[in-house]
Structure 1
Amino acid sequence: MVDNNWINIILSRGLRLTGVFLTLTLLAGCVFLDYIPWLQPEEVTQEIEETASDTVLRLAFAGDTMGAGKVAPILEEQGYMYPFEEARPYFEESDLAMVNLETAMSDRGDAEDKAYAFRTHPDFVKGLDWAGIDLVSVANNHSLDYGVVAFLDTLDELQQHEIGYVGGGVNAEEAYREQTYEVNGQTVAFLGFSRVLPDVSWYAREDQPGLASGYQEERIYQGIRQASASADLTVVYIHWGNEMELEASDDQRRIAHQMVEEGADVVIGAHPHVLQELEWHQGKLIAYSLGNFVFTMSHEDIGRQTAILQLEIDAEGGQKATVSPFRIRHGAVWEAKGEEREEILRRLQTISTTGEWQDHVFYPR
């Protein structure tokens, strides 16, 4: 007959051994799982999201920029860096920054017979350079306000400070040609056109300095097709629309959509002197008007509201737009804060409805 005490001891030790074995098995399993990334879905998801959101390019854009009119005496007193003091960090942190240069930069030439003729001191280019502006569009209705001689001075000043330009040139070939940059392994092409020109004499021709006309739509589309064929990203900066209109016209929308369908990845507009809506079309950003930037004082408060638009492009070509509101005051642009900032964003959010807003960031749907 077996002693019951021995049975109890054997069972007790067996259970303890089984427990130890199970514990070791579980521990080994945990260690094993640590070395198999595909068995950890939460970490993999986070890694994919971080990779997908990696920014390959950051571009910055602002609107109509000049140092003439009421701005001129302020800049003479304060210096040519002054108007960009609070804007500079936004341009500097971007890979490329661009504005619409709506003036001649020269001390020569005679004013055209028009209501407003703008000519800015040549030293204004030093402010653009200091601010971190990499290129400008000269395709607008003021670049030739003081004739060809002042326009050529403008191009010379830009070249001397290594600031690129599109939308104008010493002849048609240069005016309609894209400006190309290699950034972070990406080829970025920029084009400029104007659908607001005082006279056909402002058109660049084979042997005549001037601007890239945007009135001939097929020429715009041809330029986009040519540029996009060899570029990873194609940007069109276009002067168009109606002054002080708060939203783009149907004609602007039609042309903007066609530009995207022809190969433009970004369309930036100017001329209305107010901020107009942002739109996503086929996942590409259209900013119909960025309004005034460093500019002579507007008679209407809404014309003194502006913004810097920063566009981020990820490795898959996805885009998101960040809007940083500014206020034009005393010949310069200053960051809008508090209720003023919220007012600018509320208006843009109300009229920009093709994407999703998260505070001041606009995402495509």
Structure 2
Amino acid sequence: MRLQLFLLLLIAVQSASAQKKETISLVFMGDVMGHDSQINSARIGNTDTFDYNSCFKFLRHDIESADVAIANLEVTLAGPPYKGYPAFSSPDTLVDALKYAGIDAVVMANNHCVDRRKAGLERTCDILDKKGLPRTGVFKDSIDRVRHNPMIIEKKGFRLAFLNYTYGTNGIRVQTPNIVNLIDTSVIARDIESAKRKRVDEIIVCMHWGWEYQTQPNPEQKRLAKWLGSKGVKIIIGSHPHVLQPVKLQYGPNGKSLVAYSLGNFISNQRPAPRDGAALLFIELEKTNGHVQVANACYQLTWVYTPIKANNKLFFVLPADRFKADAWVEESARKRLNEYISEARAIMKYNVEVPEKNFKEPLKALSGLQLKHIHISPFEQIKFTGLN
């Protein structure tokens, strides 16, 4: 009898173990840009030193709540002279601020990646490597591409591969031996097969595509998304339009698949509506017995606040919904922030199974803490009230 009970218990334990689920949360954000006013804002006094940390301080814990955070770096780190549009080169300390904000890696293939030609491309790669921020999409040479294409991130028992491609480089020729991943389906197909051979749990493809300032995907985006799905890619993250476009989580032949056509401007000086905001996209992956699926996804609206203080334009990326009634934001800016929230929700109403991150009333007051800085999981669904 005891032996039978022991065997039944052993079977139950083994069965539970066999069905054990592992999860990992990812967060993606839109374009990290570096216009002239952003560079001027980051300058410390009259020196040639720069500090961007304050730009991201209000979103730092939201980003850190995910296990892996990825951003699109749409500037070069080519050194001085620092300049914004049309040939971007931002100070190296932008990388420090991105890491401070909780960003774990960047994708680089976009239309501005060769703004400063060969020297700028190579220096950008070198600075990211020196500062320990993983990268993909742009490479110094074929050997560098082998090392960083795909970009592999391992965390919490997951092995994830990231691939990154752009529609072009603003007509600037990529100089030998540099390589920029362009949207070429034959190349992408080979890269996907190469990533599969590396025994990864999931392949995420980041695409720099679409038409600028259009809030709906164009036919080419839709065609490429469908083609990537046919190759087994279940997560596609888009950038370039500088505005939000819908996110869709749908069932396909390989289970649930997600495409985010555009996540907008994470930080920039583009102020015309609705270019002044973006969204964080949280994705939860679940692995059971080696099978990985997209468990759920949600988005959080963000907005770039640019107050003028002491004749200097400042930049803060704000969690939009938590600051929409905050007196710290100037009245005229609050009005625009609320307009942006309405505009963004009008775009995202076309989402499929990707709701806005919903905040609920906290159960207890947290004395001595500013609620806007509390670290929570993106899936805990908590609402912060009484912001100072």
Q: TM class, shorter-chain normalised? A: 0.7 to 0.9
TM-score norm. by structure 1 comes to 0.76
Q: Which position in structure 1 is the counterpart of 2:131?
A: 161
CA positional deviation for 1:308: 0.9
2:118 partner SS = helix
State the AA in 2 paired with 1:180.
Answer: I
CA positional deviation for 1:344: 5.2
Q: Which position in structure 2 is the counterpart of 1:234?
A: 203
Native 8 Å contact 1:55 1:312 kept in 2:
no
State the AA in 2 paired with 1:290.
Answer: L
Structure 1 counterpart of 2:190, from 222, 225, 231: 222
Single out whichever of 281-290 and 333-342 deviates more from structure 2. Answer: 333-342
- Gap change, CA 1:55 and 1:82, over 3 Å in 2: farther
State the AA in 2 paired with 1:350.
Answer: K
Question: Is 1:272 the equivalent of 2:256?
Answer: no
What is the count of residue pairs matched by the alignment? 307
* Gap regions ≥5 residues in structure 2: 1-7, 10-15, 45-49, 307-314, 325-337, 360-377, 380-388
State the AA in 1 paired with 2:264.
Answer: G
Question: Is 1:355 the equivalent of 2:328?
Answer: no
Structure 1 counterpart of 2:319, from 324, 335, 342: 335
* Gap regions ≥5 residues in structure 1: 1-35, 38-47
Question: Is 1:105 the equivalent of 2:74?
Answer: no
CA positional deviation for 1:257: 1.6
Q: Which position in structure 2 is the counterpart of 1:69?
A: 36
Native 8 Å contact 1:243 1:272 kept in 2:
yes
Equivalents in 1 of 2:91, 2:58: separation in Å? 22
CA positional deviation for 1:109: 7.5
Q: Which position in structure 1 is the counterpart of 2:3?
A: none
2:301 partner SS = strand
Q: Which position in structure 2 is the counterpart of 1:86?
A: 58
Equivalents in 1 of 2:204, 2:179: separation in Å? 21
CA positional deviation for 1:286: 0.5
> CA deviation digits over 1:92-144, x for unaligned, max 9?
12111111100111325898xx9711110111111111111111111011121
> CA deviation digits over 1:79-100, x for unaligned, max 9?
2211111221122121111111
> CA deviation digits over 1:26-78, x for unaligned, max 9?
xxxxxxxxxx99xxxxxxxxxx9xx89x6611111111103332211111148
Equivalents in 2 of 1:342, 1:71: separation in Å? 23
Equivalents in 2 of 1:298, 1:115: separation in Å? 11
Structure 2 counterpart of 1:287, from 245, 252, 260: 260
Q: CA RMSD in A?
A: 2.9
5 Å-filtered alignment, 1:181-220, equals 181-199=153-171, 201-202=173-174, 208-214=177-183, 216-220=184-188
The structure that is helix-richer by fraction is 1
State the AA in 2 paired with 1:131.
Answer: A
Equivalents in 2 of 1:356, 1:212: separation in Å? 29
Q: Which position in structure 2 is the counterpart of 1:44?
A: none
Equivalents in 2 of 1:221, 1:69: separation in Å? 38
Equivalents in 1 of 2:24, 2:114: separation in Å? 33
Question: Is 1:300 the equivalent of 2:272?
Answer: yes
Instruction: Percent identity, please.
Output: 24
1:190 partner SS = strand
Native 8 Å contact 2:26 2:69 kept in 1:
yes
State the AA in 1 paired with 2:228.
Answer: M
TM-score norm. by structure 2 comes to 0.72
> CA deviation digits over 1:273-302, x for unaligned, max 9?
00101012421110000111111x224120
- Name which one, 1 or 2, has greater alpha-carbon Rg: 1
- Gap change, CA 1:69 and 1:200, over 3 Å in 2: closer
State the AA in 2 paired with 1:59.
Answer: L
1:63 partner SS = strand
